[in-house]
Amino acid sequence: MSMNVIFSPMPSFKLSQPGALKLDRLLAPFFVPGLLFASLLFANPFFAGPLRAEVRTAEMAASDRALGADLAAYHALQEGRGDDAAALLRATLAANPADALAHQLLCRLFYAKDEADDAIHQCELAVSTAPATGELASDNNLWLGRAYGMKARHAGPIAGFTLARKVEASFSRAVELNPDSVAALNDLGEYYVAAPFVMGGGSDKAHALAARMMPRFPGAAHRLLARLADSDNNLATAESEFKQAVAADRSSGAWIDLAQFYQTHARPDDALSAVKSALAADRTHGPALVDAASILTKANRAPDLAERCLRDYLASRAKSDAAPAFKVHLQLSRLLAARGDAPGADREVAAAAALAPAFTRSSRTSQGL
């Protein structure tokens, strides 16, 4: 059985599609004018009914066994218990500095806390200590590319250029090591769409990758074609491709992609309709709910529904580092504050601080609060 469920950013949520990386944000201000999402959105599995749920239970049990000594830290990371995860991983690495998965999980924790330099350091250690082949090696490279992208977001033009090429090299290596990783294929495709030729991107590469993906991953391929059309301002084709992705995947993530497209192009009522379809398709109450809430907030639609999405996510067992719980508590706090519920907002800040106190303090300080 594939262990992709453990080591990869889970297949199929937004951020849209499995592991979809929003490079137009990560590589700005070097060459990309717009932005879709503020962070990297990982994919959360979409399960279409009881049989799929049973399969997932078996897969997760196998995953837990494969995680071994890193099991407790992994679950702490998924639940958003940042300080607990850090303590467990540091203890593991003190006993076994060559534990590549522990380095990857620590990289992901730093990534979730927006600490790019530490994330890069840990992912570089993960790449250097893991076997040179296999899914774990692929995922280590994938996360290293994401960490480089986070640093590129805040770098100057020269450093940004160097980091961007490292992003492309890491994503390409991830795909080479595991050609079946939809997360890696998605992120590489996002890079090709966002980056100019001089940085290793380009529409020709993106079209070739979409053609390669189409036979086995049609939903992800249509999503990439939609992103290409959107970047060319061919909005009719982009909408059509997003709808074909919905038809292929029938997942909440595909609907979220379409909703994001509508919101970005000032079609708030269509965005609301697509979000409602995403929620109807949702079976896990995973990170797609956080995307849904973000879209509704930006579209100035259905604040009650946005609040419910965030609360359902925080109450679910499908939380992940794709949408860290401490960040979601802060997002809910801002939503409640905007609605005049100051006590409720304060409770959410306290909940975030209980999970990641240093991050919560720095985040509040950066917002002048």
Q: What is the pLDDT of residues 153-210, one digit of tens each?
A: 888 888 988 999 999 999 999 999 999 999 999 999 999 999 998 889 999 999 999 9
| The token pair that represents 128 in the structure block | 């250097």
The residue among 173, 183, 194 whose CA lies nearest residue 26 is 194
- What pLDDT, in 10s, does the model give residues 330-366? 999 999 999 999 999 999 999 999 999 999 988 887 7
The per-type count for the chain, helices as H runs and strands as E runs, is 20, 0
- Give all domains of the chain, ordered by start, each with its CATH number: 1-201 (1.25.40.10)
| The token pair that represents 225 in the structure block | 């074609």
**How far is 259 from 121, CA to CA, in rounded Å?**
36
CB 258 within 8 A of CB 272: no
Phi-psi region of 201 (alpha: psi -120 to 50; beta: other; left: phi over 0): beta
- Cis omega (within 30 of 0) on the bond before 9? no
The residue among 141, 112, 23, 11 whose CA lies nearest residue 63 is 11
Residues in the chain: 369
Record the pTM: 0.83
Secondary structure element (H or E) that encloses residue 187, with its range: helix 182-194
CB 272 within 8 A of CB 301: yes
pLDDT in tens, the chain (369 residues): 333 333 333 332 233 333 444 444 444 434 333 222 223 322 322 222 222 233 333 334 445 556 777 899 999 999 999 999 999 999 999 999 999 999 999 999 999 999 999 999 999 999 999 888 889 999 999 999 999 999 998 888 889 889 999 999 999 999 999 999 999 999 999 999 999 988 899 999 999 999 999 999 999 999 999 999 999 999 999 999 999 999 999 999 999 999 999 999 999 999 999 999 999 999 999 999 999 999 999 999 999 999 999 999 999 999 999 999 999 999 999 999 999 999 999 999 999 999 999 999 888 877 766
